[in-house]
Chain A
Amino acid sequence: MPELLTVAATPADLYAARVQMAFSLGWHIVIACFGVGMPALTVFAEWRGRRTGDPDYLRLAHQWAKAMGVLFAVGAVSGTILSFEMGLLWPGLMATYGQVLGLPFAMEGFAFFIEAIFLGIYLYAWDRLPPRQHVLSGLPVCVAGIASAFFVVSANAWMNQPRGFDLHAGTVTRVNPWAAMFNPATPPQTVHMILAAFMVAGYGIASVYAVAMLRGRRDRYHRLGFLVPFTAAAALTPVQIVVGDWAAKFLATNQPVKLAAIEGLTQTRAYAPLSLGGVYVDGELRYAVQIPNALSILAHWRPDALILGLDQVAPADRPPVNPVHLGFQLMVGIGFALLALALWFALAWWRRRDLPRSPWFLRFAAATGVAAAVALEAGWVVTEVGRQPWIVWGVQRTADAVNPAPGLVTGLVAVLAVYTVLTVATVYVLNRMRTRPVTAPQERGAQEHVP
């Protein structure tokens, strides 16, 4: 077997490969969240509409199904690019560990297949199937979307907690793909991500209707369009905060360097404080507000618990602190802001069966879509940058996985250009769709051109 370790052609090429992967993954996950969360909301609206004959619910289902068709297509292609990039950018990872992390991807392939098939049926057979069958045809889309997220994130969890293989002189032996897939990081990471997907989709859709309501369109259709996704996302928000705490506690025991970077904790110590804000300069966190003992208590329930600092590993093995620390602060901050909004909503609903009266509620609600997406991206920065300099934690360095071919910088520039066009076109089309009459999804061809 020839030498499969690699070195980037230039440092700029390694950096370009990392930026390209981060960018295309960061782009895809926002769309993928809608792929996971939106089918459930759409099928729910259709089910309510068909059951009660309520035209507003049916109209919402039509509208959402249409947007879902566009988002799914864009998600399908941007996801395909990622599977290409695994080989194009990180052949050193794939050559050695492709077989270890391949199993969940094989399963994801099937889940995606099922999702594509039933989405095709759901969108195009709107008027061809009996109502009951049509609603049921949407359920596999919901299940497959969640399953896809589980499989893909379990592969990412393996990169944080590599298991299921022995390493001898650069080659893997005795591979156990099931142990790799069900590694210790899989439960907290997958649950955290799937909840995040529902929150991004729920808050994202709700914010569109919040904007419409702020502009005075307060009919029942817009109210329902706001209430259904917002209620779902708001109900999940406290759950997500508990799960996030679980994921962070997991880091304290299983990936302590990442937790040290999250907290900007240089020295290993007991009675570790929790640091809010601040910037990491010259090996220390400055200008942060510190809550004494709080980190030790949060991680291990004891103020005297020892928290490992960045000094547990050599400087060359430490992740960059600032993006990880600030990304975490941003994610948690947004999470608690969303929780506050959810509680406000719950209180108003409990007392008056109505939305809060203040216009500020809708103003904040209009921002939840963007806020949830930002929290999602910040969370991914924490996970991915916090693992650096390793692509497979403690086993393979990112620099040893990159494609040594020259010209990755050119590739990055081209990718950025393509994604810019894709973003503009996606936003434009979705926005046009919002302002156009609703028809049965996908059934009609575009308007006839009259010469």
Chain B
Amino acid sequence: MTAAQWLLLVAWAGLTLYVLFAGADFGGGFWDLLAGGDVKGMPQRRLIEHSIGPVWEANHVWLIFVIVMFWTGFPAVFASVASTMYIPLTLVAFGIIARGAAFAFRKASTELWQQRLFGAAFALSSVLTPFFLGTVAGGVASGRVPLGIARGDLVASWLNPTSVLAGLLAVGTTAYLAAAYLTADARRQGQDDLAEAFRRRALVTGAVTGAVALGGIAVLRADAPRLFAGLTGRALPIVVVSALAGLVSLVLLVQRRYVAVRATAALAVAAVVWGWAVAQYPYLLLPDATVAKTAADPAVLRATLAVLAVGTLLLVPSLLWLFSLFQREHTVAAHDQADGPAPSGHPAA
């Protein structure tokens, strides 16, 4: 494998992790939006906040990681996508601001109207951000972003059947992942009614998203024939894996095997991301911008891979500690204590 292929592989792994982790955080916002009134929705919002609070910033960094990998490793591709997709990416940027800030602000506010306002901003942007990210992916996958600065259509590149399909799939995926992950979180905290509620939602969103994905094949056939050929050709095994993992997840959800469903749900979603990559390889941008043609200088690729290797050695143990710290010890007692009255209240500055 060439250094460029390695870098692409690593960037795509980063994208997968962003979809799986940050995607679930976005989905948390989706369910926050639909949780209902202040009183009825509070236990759900609590659970969501509890699950994503310590990890969302770390999960969000995967996006920056992917952006930097592309601009370093495939600078012309990055510039082409960013300049043509100026409009949806600006909206994504706004969504990221609104979501991150509002989440932190809601956490820090006490009054109901503030929590409502920041909560609404958090929840709405959690739905819109993945949608617009999906439209960008759809535009690239359907060959609407040519190599060159702002060479694609500034509107039709992201407002087209494949983009809308990808946007909807992105929202559905985040909602499904979040619901599937939250079942286990709820049960671990002893909130069986919430676990049941999220189980139902995971079943519904899983079925709906799966149906949209299947129906989307017809859309791709008409709108993105090269992608369609790739998905039904070389990438077919991965597409089948995704479908099977999706089905197994639904069965596991029916059986309330919530920990196992995490793995299969993640596999179903990751397979979509990799199916796209395999279907489109070796073209980063259609019709002819290949990996080899757009890759950066070999010295840059090697230096970046070296940095990645060293960085990973620091990162992996840190990430594992973060996740393990907040996955274990999350007993009912700890939860009650954490949410109970503060042991020491002081008047502040």
> Which A residues form the contact surface with B (CB < 8 A)?
1-4, 6, 59, 63, 66, 69-70, 72-74, 76-81, 83-88, 91-92, 94-100, 102-103, 105-110, 112-114, 116-121, 123-125, 127-129, 140, 172-178, 208-209, 212, 217, 221-222, 225, 403-407, 411, 414-415, 418, 422, 425-426, 429, 432-440, 442-449, 451
Given known A-B contacts A87-B71, A404-B149, A446-B109, A436 and B57 have beta carbons under 8 A apart: no
Any A CB within 8 A of the CB of B231? no
**0 or 1 for each of B161-172: is its CB under 8 Å from A? (1 = yes):** 000000000000
Given known A-B contacts A128-B325, A447-B110, A437 and B349 have beta carbons under 8 A apart: no
Any A CB within 8 A of the CB of B292? no
Q: What is the CB-to-nearest-CB distance from B43 to chain A, in angstroms, rounded to a whole number?
A: 11
Number of chain B interface residues as a range: 35 or more
Question: In the assembled complex, which residues on chain B have CB atoms less than 8 Å from the CB atom of A99?
Answer: 71-73, 75, 296-297, 300
Tally of contacts, chain A with chain B, CB under 8 A:
306
- Interface segment among B97-105, B233-241, B262-270, B272-280: the answer is B97-105
Tell whether, in the assembled complex, residue A432 and residue B109 are in contact, meaning their CB atoms are under 8 Å apart: yes
A-B contact pairs, 16 of them (CB 8 A): A73-B104, A74-B100, A77-B101, A116-B57, A117-B322, A120-B57, A120-B58, A124-B54, A128-B325, A175-B296, A175-B297, A404-B150, A411-B90, A415-B90, A445-B339, A449-B39
Q: A435-B348, A443-B338 are in contact. List 7 more A-B contacts (CB 8 A).
A: A72-B57, A74-B104, A83-B64, A84-B90, A124-B53, A415-B90, A444-B339
Q: Nearest A residue to B339 by beta-carbon distance?
A: A445
Question: In the assembled complex, which residues on chain B have CB atoms less than 8 Å from the CB atom of A83?
Answer: 64, 67-68
DSSP majority for the B interface? helix
**Residue of B72, B150, B348 touching A63 (CB-CB under 8 A):** B348
**Residue of A106, A176, A440 touching B68 (CB-CB under 8 A):** A106
Question: In the assembled complex, which residues on chain A have CB atoms less than 8 Å from the CB atom of B73?
Answer: 99, 102
Question: In the assembled complex, which residues on chain B have CB atoms less than 8 Å from the CB atom of A81?
Answer: 93, 96-97
Q: What is the CB-to-nearest-CB distance from A218 to chain B, in angstroms, rounded to a whole number?
A: 12
**Residue of A59, A107, A119, A434 touching B57 (CB-CB under 8 A):** A119
Tell whether, in the assembled complex, residue A102 and residue B61 are in contact, meaning their CB atoms are under 8 Å apart: no
**Residue of A6, A74, A94 touching B78 (CB-CB under 8 A):** A94
Tell whether, in the assembled complex, residue B67 and residue A403 are in contact, meaning their CB atoms are under 8 Å apart: no
Complex Cα distance A3/B89, Å?
Answer: 23
Given known A-B contacts A425-B105, A451-B39, A91 and B64 have beta carbons under 8 A apart: no
**Residue of A79, A95, A120, A449 touching B76 (CB-CB under 8 A):** A95
Question: In the assembled complex, which residues on chain A have CB atoms less than 8 Å from the CB atom of B299?
Answer: 174-177
Tell whether, in the assembled complex, residue A2 and residue B325 are in contact, meaning their CB atoms are under 8 Å apart: no
Complex Cα distance A107/B310, Å?
Answer: 10
Q: What is the CB-to-nearest-CB distance from B330 to chain A, in angstroms, rounded to a whole number?
A: 10
Question: In the assembled complex, which residues on chain B have CB atoms less than 8 Å from the CB atom of A222?
Answer: 349
Question: In the assembled complex, which residues on chain A have CB atoms less than 8 Å from the CB atom of B111?
Answer: 447
Complex Cα distance A177/B307, Å?
Answer: 12
Tell whether, in the assembled complex, residue B72 and residue A106 are in contact, meaning their CB atoms are under 8 Å apart: yes
**Residue of A69, A91, A105, A433 touching B149 (CB-CB under 8 A):** A91
Complex Cα distance A204/B72, Å?
Answer: 36
Complex Cα distance A78/B57, Å?
Answer: 12
Tell whether, in the assembled complex, residue A426 and residue B68 are in contact, meaning their CB atoms are under 8 Å apart: no
Given known A-B contacts A121-B325, A124-B53, A405-B150, A425 and B101 have beta carbons under 8 A apart: yes
